A = this chain, B = another copy of it.
């Protein structure tokens, strides 16, 4: 019999185009999904997926169920928001502190949607740079911190968002363009274009260059597009999350290369006080954040 888990599974399968990726997405085993899909297919006597070499494609039947999943899961979210209103837990504040500048890319549309859904929640961005953003939570100056920190602390809950790869960004005619993978020594003598934050907040420096004893020059820019402009006009190279690069790479504006043989990866968490984690609007924020990120951002991987 059809259950919500089947709908969630098919939605994930539709997004990811692979059983094992979908399994990570819904925090189950690949085997579990395989069984689920098989059960669906025997129940409806219809194939739901069609293997196309390495990627699986949904059949028409599968797409019908995906469409169902979208309406059903949205309807559920909507009434759960309604229930939160009834229980009078629909108001409060959601002040977001961002550790990672690139996150503006996906945070903006998310905030727009959130404002619609929770008109009584005071939505805000905490501006400025903070050496210990988690402390903002304890000081009551922010309600969520979006960053890569996940050290266990009293009263703090780190909600895993996703895992993403940081790629080196070079101008198309750069001397290193032939190398598919860049290693630490490749960066010596280069100018690194970064956001204006301390060195140990930049993963490339903190985890790759500093351990290798390499200290390239730095130049900073506030906005991602500005960094890309500088790279394209050969003022230096940058290291940015893979998801925002696709368009620029496709237009051969810049090229992107892996850093280290297994890549440079970073995790993103949404950290809150444990008490605020229970609030319905916070839970809804986290859920839709993950949903929209996995739906729109390419190359990101579920965490935990």
Total copies of the chain: 2
* B-side contacts of A72, CB under 8 Å: 72, 75-76
* B-side contacts of A2, CB under 8 Å: 4, 76, 80
Q: Which residue of B lies closest to A82 (CB)?
A: B64
Given A2-B4, A3-B4, check contact A45 B87 (CB 8 Å): yes
* B-side contacts of A86, CB under 8 Å: 46, 60-61, 64
**A71 to B3 CA separation, bound complex (whole angstroms):** 15
Per-residue interface assignment for chain A, residues 60 to 88, with 1 indicating a CB less than 8 Å from any chain B CB and 0 otherwise: 11001101100110011001101100110
Q: Give the A interface residue count (CB, 8 A).
A: 22
**Main secondary structure on A side of the interface with B:** helix
Q: Which residue of B lies closest to A87 (CB)?
A: B46
**Contact of A79 (CB < 8 Å), options: B68, B75, B83:** B68
* B-side contacts of A64, CB under 8 Å: 79, 82-83, 86
Nearest chain B CB to A74 CB, angstrom units: 10
* B-side contacts of A79, CB under 8 Å: 64-65, 67-68
Nearest chain B CB to A62 CB, angstrom units: 10
Q: Which residue of B lies closest to A86 (CB)?
A: B61
Is A44 in the interface zone, CB < 8 Å from B?
yes
Chain A contact residues, CB within 8 Å of chain B: 2-4, 44-46, 60-61, 64-65, 67-68, 71-72, 75-76, 79-80, 82-83, 86-87
- Nearest 8 CB-CB pairings of A with B: A68-B79, A64-B82, A46-B87, A64-B79, A61-B86, A72-B72, A44-B83, A71-B75
